[in-house]
Amino acid sequence: MTPFEWNFPTKLTYGPGRVSEIGQIAAQYGKKAMIATYAKGSSLDPVVDKVETSLRAAGLDVVIFTGIEPNPRAQTIDQATELFVAEQCDLVIALGGGSVIDGSKYIAATAFSGGKSWDYVVLGERTPREYTGAFPIISIPSISAAGSECNAGGVIQNAETNEKSFSRSPYRIPKVAIVDPEILQSVPMHLTKESCIDIFSHLVEHYLSSHAESEFADRMTEGMILCLMDNFEKIINNLEDLEVRGQLALCSIFGWSGIQALGRLGCIPMHSVEMPLSAYYDLPHARGMVVVIPAYLEHMADAIPHRFAKLARRCFGVTETDDLVAANLLHVRVREWFKRMDAFLTLSDVGIGEDKFEQMAEDVVRMFPGSAPESTAGPRPITKDEIVRIYQLCK
């Protein structure tokens, strides 16, 4: 088990109807709040009104920024940041999914630290600008997927260059996450399916990213995967089940909290491989992960077969004793699970051809370079040609 540091500073406020407490919670952190959310016309409009009413009743001034995209654009986030500074806000209320919460992290930290949001992302050999602090963030997730409501990460897209990247900073960890299953209840079927697979992508990546062993982290991760699988089946049979929505919310939050990686941190190329799909085709991230996961598992099974085999046996019923054979069954069982949930997708299903495979692979190795030439980091260096092969397996 490798050395680590971990904490979980976000206060979780969970329960049906608890969004109504936003005013009294926010009053502890600021006096003028920006509500950052999607464009008007979504199912969240009544929730935005409720949040604004609660904030004003608690004595806060309110500015509302609408229009954050499912793949949040750096240019949009910069507009929001300019408004935040001009209005002298001192608090961000992130109301939406991972894209809104990620975007809100950039608003809060860039408004405090200066510059533009894209200055801070990982981008090849460039040294990212460092944050000096951030205004407080309160997250109200509208979907259980990325777990962004309680972590330091954030992904944005540069619409001018067709690049998508990320940054992390402890300054940007939300102070409070209000997890209200009555809000999560409104997520439609296709987004519910994709979000469950997004949760799985976070759990499986760290499990399969390192040769290091940490039985504690393994058991925590396996438990969350099994919980996710059980509740995935339940939620597609009853989208309005508040109890199940709550279980999925916890899988989302703790699946990307760091607790699933204690003692065996590694590189996570699966998301890097997906990012160009979103950047070039505006494919929602979770849908991109649905496409990429089985192909990635198929191609990478021989990288650390004992880890792939362990997951296959403990979570997917594989009984083969030979590690390499068991490892190569993992992608088979995962595909079967996706199909059983009527959630399996290929690049053809989402209307993406192979004309940009080479360019996308070049972007991955340029933006996220590994130790070997023309490669990205992983449990072993993954070359540009291998990334092209993964895209081909996605067809």
Q: Is the pLDDT confidence value at 193 over 90?
A: yes
pLDDT digits (tens, 9 = 90+) for 219-232: 999 999 999 999 99
Domains of the chain, first to last: 11-184 (3.40.50.1970), 189-393 (1.20.1090.10)
pTM attached to this predicted model: 0.96
Question: pLDDT tens digits, residue range 240-275?
Answer: 999 999 999 999 999 999 999 999 988 889 999 999
Q: What is the pLDDT of residue 125?
A: 86
Q: What is the per-residue pLDDT for 140?
A: 98
* Segment among 36-40, 116-120, 122-126, 245-249 with least mean pLDDT: 122-126
Query: What is the percent of the chain where pLDDT is above 90?
Result: 96
Cα angle 137-141-147, degrees, rounded to a multiple of 5: 85
Q: Which of 283, 274, 268, 254 is nearest to 177 (CA)?
A: 254
Arithmetic mean of pLDDT, 116-122: 97
The yes-or-no verdict on residue 355 having pLDDT over 90 is yes
Give the model confidence (pLDDT) of 204-218 as tens digits.
999 999 899 999 999
Query: pLDDT of 8-41, one tens digit each?
Result: 999 999 999 999 999 999 999 999 999 999 999 9
pLDDT of residue 266: 86
9: number of Cβ within 10 Å: 10
The span from the CA of 331 to the CA of 337, in Å, is 10
Q: What is the mean pLDDT of the chain?
A: 97
Strands 61-66 and 32-37: parallel
For residue 107, pLDDT beyond 90: yes
Contact 12, 253 (CB under 8 A): yes
What is the per-residue pLDDT for 119? 98
Query: Is 90 exceeded by the pLDDT of residue 393?
Result: yes
C-alpha to C-alpha distance for 295 and 50, rounded to whole angstroms: 43
What is the reported pLDDT for 371?
A: 87
Q: How do residues 266-302 score in pLDDT, each as one tens digit?
A: 888 999 999 999 999 999 999 999 999 999 999 999 9
Residue 265: predicted pLDDT: 86
Alpha-carbon distance of 181 to 238, in angstroms, equals 14
- Backbone phi, psi, residue 109, to 5°: -85, -35
Q: Cα(228)–Cα(208) distance, rounded to whole angstroms?
A: 18
